[in-house]
Structure 1
Amino acid sequence: MLISSRRSTSATALIGPVLIGLVSIGLTACGGTTKGSTAASQSAAAPAPAAAAPASANPDAPIKEGIKIAFLPKQINNPYETIVDKAGIEAAAEYKGEAKEVGPSDASASSQVSYINTLTQQRQDAILIAANDANAVCGPLQQARSKGIKVVTYDSDASKDCRDLFINQASSEEVGRSQIAMLSDLIGGKGEFAILSATANATNQNTWIEFMKDELTKPEYKDMKLVKVAYGDDDDQKSFQETQGLLQAYPDLKGIIAPTTVGISAAARYVSGSKYKGKVVVTGLGTPNQMREYVKNGTVEKFALWNPKDLGYLAGYAAAALVSGQITGAEGEKFTAGRLGEYTIGKDGEVILGPPFTFDAGNIDEFDF
Structure 2
Amino acid sequence: MTRRLRMGVPLCALAVAAIAAGCGSSSSSSKASSSSGASSSAGSSGSSGKTYHVVYIPGLTGNPFYSTVACGAKSVAPQMHVKFSVQGAPTFAVNAQTPVVNAVTATHPDAIMISNDDPKGMIPPLLQAQRAGIKIVNIDGDLAEKSVGVTNIQSDNAYGGQLAGQAMGKLIGGKGTVAIIDNDPGFPISEARVAGFMQAMKQYPGVKVLGVQYSHNETSNAASIVSSTAAAHPDFAGVYTVE
Aligned to 2:222: 239
C-alpha deviation, 1:190, in angstroms: 2.2
Aligned to 1:252: 235
Aligned to 2:91: 106
C-alpha distance 236-222 of structure 1, shift in aligned 2 (>3 A): same
Aligned to 1:141: 126
Aligned to 2:11: none
The alignment status of 1:26 with 2:4, answered yes or no, reads yes
1:161 aligned counterpart, secondary structure: coil
Aligned match for 1:165, one of 144, 147, 151: 151
- Quick check: which one's helix share is greater? 2
| Deviations 1:182-216, CA, capped at 9 Å, x for gaps | 11122222221111223334442222112323444
| Deviations 1:42-72, CA, capped at 9 Å, x for gaps | xxxxxxxxxxxx8xx8xxxx99831111111
Aligned match for 2:213, one of 216, 226, 230: 230
1:77 aligned counterpart, secondary structure: coil
Residue 117 of structure 2 aligns with an amino acid whose one-letter code is: N
Aligned match for 1:89, one of 74, 90, 95: 74
Residue 102 of structure 2 aligns with an amino acid whose one-letter code is: N
| Deviations 1:259-285, CA, capped at 9 Å, x for gaps | 33xxxxxxxxxxxxxxxxxxxxxxxxx
CA contact (8 A) 2:54 2:110 kept: yes
C-alpha deviation, 1:164, in angstroms: 1.5
CA contact (8 A) 1:65 1:95 kept: no
Aligned to 2:12: none
C-alpha deviation, 1:25, in angstroms: 5.1
C-alpha distance 128-64 of structure 1, shift in aligned 2 (>3 A): farther
CA contact (8 A) 1:138 1:158 kept: yes
Aligned length: 205
CA contact (8 A) 2:172 2:237 kept: yes
Aligned match for 1:77, one of 56, 62, 75: 62
Residue 26 of structure 1 aligns with an amino acid whose one-letter code is: R
1:112 aligned counterpart, secondary structure: helix
For 1:64 and 1:133, locate their aligned partners in 2 and report how far apart those are by CA, in whole Å.
Answer: 37
C-alpha deviation, 1:125, in angstroms: 0.8
CA contact (8 A) 1:133 1:203 kept: no
Aligned to 2:101: 116
For 1:168 and 1:64, locate their aligned partners in 2 and report how far apart those are by CA, in whole Å.
Answer: 31
C-alpha deviation, 1:79, in angstroms: 3.3
Residue 146 of structure 1 aligns with an amino acid whose one-letter code is: R
Residue 180 of structure 2 aligns with an amino acid whose one-letter code is: I
Residue 180 of structure 1 aligns with an amino acid whose one-letter code is: G
2:96 aligned counterpart, secondary structure: coil
| Deviations 1:23-56, CA, capped at 9 Å, x for gaps | x9536x9xxxxxxxxxxxxxxxxxxxxxxxx8xx
Residue 230 of structure 2 aligns with an amino acid whose one-letter code is: L
Residue 122 of structure 2 aligns with an amino acid whose one-letter code is: V
TM-score (normalizing by structure 2): 0.73
TM-score (normalizing by structure 1): 0.50
C-alpha distance 206-25 of structure 1, shift in aligned 2 (>3 A): farther
CA contact (8 A) 2:181 2:213 kept: yes
Higher relative contact order (CA 8 A, sep 6+): 1
In structure 1, list runs of 5 or more residues that go unmatched: 1-13, 15-23, 30-53, 261-369
Residue 204 of structure 2 aligns with an amino acid whose one-letter code is: Y
Give the root-mean-square deviation of aligned CA atoms. Answer: 2.8
